[in-house]
Chain A
Amino acid sequence: MSAVPTTETTGTTTRPGTALPSLAAVYRSRAGVELKEFFRQRESVVFTLVFPVLLLVVFGAVLDYDLGSGVSFTQYFVAGVIAAGILGASLQNMAISIATERADGTLKSLYGTPMPRSAYFVGKVVQVLAVTVLIIAILLLVGAVFYDVQLPSGADWLTFAWVTALGAAACTLLGIAVSSLARNGRSASATVTPIALVLQFISGVFFQFSQVPVWMQTVASLFPLKWMAQGLRSVFLPDALAAQEPAGTWELGRVALVLGAWCLAGLVLCVLTFRWQERGTR
């Protein structure tokens, strides 16, 4: 296949036998770039990886009360802080890093190369996956070793996996979409960080969701974080505590539905808004 010129220009200027690199090869290359970019940047590592662990350490030490049925608040908080960790690794990370790369010309340079455009997004997805898995592993380890957090068992792991995957997918897509609203990485950070913080307060991360005023619960229900935290609570808490949820159950079906809807909305927004260059340069 590679021997057949696909355009009129191929034969005259490209050396014979030189096919474009395979998608897999470029995907690997981009994945390597994205992993290095993330883990070598102190700000992103501290912000995304260290901060949630600090939260777990502090909250676990301070708010170690009993929720009933012999369940500690830390057990409840682990579900919330994992949800917040996923949010940071996906939505916040994507919004800030892509806005930065758009403002400093990285994206424009890539657009001028024969890199398949999908490779950029594959690299980002690999980065989000790696960071997400790492943050969850660290949080589980710290929780289990220092705070007696009970790890999930049996089918709960399956729920854990799909809630994480669906939540991370929705938030990654939203992060890519949000990056287009910002002028640069700094302004993306200034916009996204407070919103994420407010969502964490009203979505049952720092406090029990049942203690949040109803109107705030309603606001939180519009966004993915509440549903991620709720789905993860079903993984980390005994079913007896489902009674404390607003609906009286874990509502896993609805969790899947809302997160799936956000994936779809995020995808549409990405397709409509993604730009390889700064605004007003075409």
Chain B
Amino acid sequence: MQQDSLLPTPRELAAVPGGEPDPDAAISVRGLVKRYGAAAAVDGLDLDIRRGEIFALLGPNGAGKTTTVEICEGFRDRDGGEVRVLGTDPASGGRRWKAQLGIVLQSGAGDSQLTCRELLRAQASYFPDPRDPDEVLELVGLTEKARSRGRSLSGGQRRRLDVALGIVGRPTLLFLDEPTTGFDPEARRQFWSLIRSLRDLGTTMLLTTHYLDEAEALADRVGVIARGRLAEVAVPAELGGRGRAPAVVTWSEDGARRSQATATPTAFVRDLAARFPGEVPDLAVARPTLEDVYLQMIGEDRA
């Protein structure tokens, strides 16, 4: 495609960090390597997550997202590189370190005979300065389910319970691994407002998701992992040169659908409007969606 040469390459745009780990960052990763057998799931990954931000990690299945996150959480060993999470190496993080984390695993928290409130009380008892379990139930919208056992909840309610268990310890840093998988659109909106209210309370969040609209709605910055490396980090509106990409104007004329890519959509629409007596039929102006640039980025990487 001709146009691509006009755009900066992902490498030029990437605000990928380098040098020593940043001790003030919530998470700082340098040259992370993790191998399973001969294959490297993570292959020299660098990442900085600032305190107070919501950072979304995107990438296809098998790109190394969950491996990276679980190394940061202290669940997996690494084969190389430096990792600092809240200033501590996760490989040697003790109880004090874990007390500052909230972890919502992809697999959820498991089955239990306990009620939601009992589960939250038990979880709170492990932390030095927990939130009130009933307030947390309120926050995730499970107040009516306080006396229900975990296994009687619907899929979306289960996931909200997982999030409740993740935040009851009043974490400084919250890990959310695909938190809204299986949610209906309304539940997802509710969940988003929950995440925003947690950010307002100062919680740093690392989010992995397959939903690009979710990353766009929530994240201050997004990072794309492909083949075990961070391909790019940007604010959602700028990823892949999206902010500078040409707009596409579409309309109907002579019974056909027309479209035109243009760097000056306002001028183009003004000219277009002059050609029609009234409204331009079916007029739309679109920038590439996050999904468009994302698919292009991981597609390029696979080629």
- A277/B75 in contact, CB under 8 A: yes
Q: Chain B: which residue is nearest A8 at the CB level? A: B87
> How many of chain B's residues touch chain A, expressed as a range?
35 or more
Q: With an 8 A cutoff between CB atoms, is B80 at the interface?
A: no
Q: Chain B: which residue is nearest A40 at the CB level? A: B113
- A6/B96 in contact, CB under 8 A: yes
Give chain A nearest CB distance to B118 CB in angstroms.
7
- A112/B110 in contact, CB under 8 A: no
Contacts of B103 in A (CB 8 A): 109, 112-113
Q: With an 8 A cutoff between CB atoms, is B107 at the interface?
A: yes
Q: With an 8 A cutoff between CB atoms, is B122 at the interface?
A: yes
- Docked pose: A29 CA to B122 CA in angstroms: 6
Give chain B nearest CB distance to A31 CB in angstroms.
11
Interface string of B151-179 (1 = CB under 8 A from A): 00000000000000100010010000000
- B96/A10 in contact, CB under 8 A: yes
- B172/A13 in contact, CB under 8 A: yes
Interface of chain B, helix or strand or loop or mixed? Answer: loop
- A36/B114 in contact, CB under 8 A: yes
Q: With an 8 A cutoff between CB atoms, is B196 at the interface?
A: no
Contacts of B165 in A (CB 8 A): 109
Interface string of A250-275 (1 = CB under 8 A from B): 00000000000000000000000000
- Docked pose: A77 CA to B107 CA in angstroms: 46
- A21/B98 in contact, CB under 8 A: no
Q: With an 8 A cutoff between CB atoms, is A116 at the interface?
A: yes
- Docked pose: A117 CA to B159 CA in angstroms: 25
- Docked pose: A221 CA to B65 CA in angstroms: 52
Q: Please choose the segment from A48-56, A98-106, A142-150, A158-166 that sits at the chain B interface, where 4 or more of its residues have CB less than 8 A away.
A: A98-106
- CB interface residues, B 110-129, toward A, < 8 Å: 110-114, 118, 121-123, 125-129
Q: With an 8 A cutoff between CB atoms, is B140 at the interface?
A: no
- B94/A7 in contact, CB under 8 A: yes
- CB interface residues, B 227-272, toward A, < 8 Å: none
Q: With an 8 A cutoff between CB atoms, is B73 at the interface?
A: yes
Q: Chain A: which residue is nearest B71 at the CB level? A: A282
- Docked pose: A152 CA to B114 CA in angstroms: 38
A26-B113 contact in complex given A7-B96, A108-B75, C-beta closer than 8 Å: no
Contacts of A211 in B (CB 8 A): none
Q: With an 8 A cutoff between CB atoms, is B95 at the interface?
A: yes
Contacts of A32 in B (CB 8 A): 122
- A281/B128 in contact, CB under 8 A: no
- A106/B75 in contact, CB under 8 A: no
- B100/A13 in contact, CB under 8 A: yes
Q: With an 8 A cutoff between CB atoms, is A18 at the interface?
A: yes
Count chain B CB atoms within 10 A of each CB in A13, A26, A116 and give the residue with the most: A13
Contacts of A25 in B (CB 8 A): 125
26 contacts between A and B (CB under 8 A): A7-B97, A9-B87, A9-B88, A9-B96, A12-B87, A13-B86, A14-B128, A18-B128, A20-B96, A21-B128, A33-B118, A105-B107, A106-B111, A108-B75, A108-B107, A109-B103, A109-B110, A109-B165, A112-B73, A112-B74, A112-B75, A112-B98, A113-B123, A114-B99, A114-B127, A282-B76
Q: A9-B88, A105-B105 are in contact. List 12 more A-B contacts (CB 8 A).
A: A9-B87, A14-B129, A21-B128, A26-B126, A29-B126, A32-B122, A33-B114, A108-B107, A109-B110, A112-B74, A113-B103, A114-B96
